[in-house]
Amino acid sequence: MQDPVTKIDLKCLSAADIPAFLDLYEKLDDIKKPFLKPRSAEDLLSHLEAGMPLMGVYRNDILAAGALLTYPDPEYAAHTRHLEGYPLTPETAALQGVVSTEKGLFTTLVAFAKDLAATRGYSTLLAKVHDQNEGARSAFDKRGFQVFLTALDPQGGYKAHFFRAVTGGGATDAAVPLPQPAVGPLPPVPDLPGNLCQTEEPRPGW
């Protein structure tokens, strides 16, 4: 019997891919889902309309991994509310909402995100990871990211680790210290039920 041919397609997604992206989130198991901020079709559309990349990896025409690359662009303040609490500088872009359903695709997406950020002039890529999300913490750690700040997430109230990595492009601000938390030891982290990152009422369709 012939081996099935695997077709891998890594690309920037368009509005037509939004249903597949939402499905990808839906398919996550109940342990992983709480670590992601829910996204709606409107959110993703406004992300694309702001000119920011929505990345995805299709495997045999099924979206198997995806993520958002978000910039601190004041022109799109309504959209960049998703960056509230991020210690951003003008040279940083944030990798958000990474989901991978197949081993290795996180690595693929990170490399792609670094390239995209670099070509758009961003020298640093940031990611925020929930303290209890040990899998993602380990994955970022193993792919060249370092924690530079641990702080309470202002929206979710959970302990978050901010990772950063250099992209290889943009201005070289990696040596510039990023804002540090103004507080000392963190207060106890509440054991939140349900969606740990969710700060908004679920929208229709969720």
Ligand X SMILES: CC(C)(COP(=O)(O)OP(=O)(O)OC[C@H]1O[C@@H](n2cnc3c(N)ncnc32)[C@H](O)[C@@H]1OP(=O)(O)O)[C@@H](O)C(=O)NCCC(=O)NCCS
Query: Given the rule CB under 6 A, which residues bind ligand X?
Result: 28, 32, 35-36, 98-100, 103-107, 127, 129, 133, 135-136, 138-139, 142-143
Nearer to ligand X, 104 or 179 (CB): 104
* Distance of closest approach, residue 2 Cβ to ligand X, in angstroms: 27
Q: Cα 148 to the chain's mean position, in Å?
A: 17
Residue placing its CB nearer to ligand X in the complex, 20 or 28: 28
CB of 105 to ligand X, least distance (A): 4
Nearer of residues 142 and 203 to ligand X, judged by Cβ: 142
Judged by beta carbon, residue 62 or residue 77, the one nearer ligand X is: 62
DSSP string, 114-162: HHHHHHTT--EEEEEEETT-HHHHHHHHHTT-EEEEEEE-TTT-SEEEE
For ligand X, the nearest residue by Cβ is 135
Please state the length of the chain.
206
CA distance 158 to 162: 12
Could you tell me which residues come within 8 angstroms of residue 78 by beta carbon, excluding any fewer than 6 positions away?
46
Q: Give the C-alpha separation, 189 to 204, whole Å.
A: 29
Query: Can you read off the two tokens belonging to residue 80?
Result: 């960049």
Nearest approach in angstroms of CB 62 to ligand X is 15
Tokens coding 16: 């037509």
With CA atoms as reference, report the closest residue to 179 among 73, 89, 69, 72. 89
| Nearest distance from C-beta of residue 28 to ligand X, angstroms | 6
Nearest-approach distance from CB 75 to ligand X, in angstroms: 26
Beta carbon nearer to ligand X, 40 or 107:
107
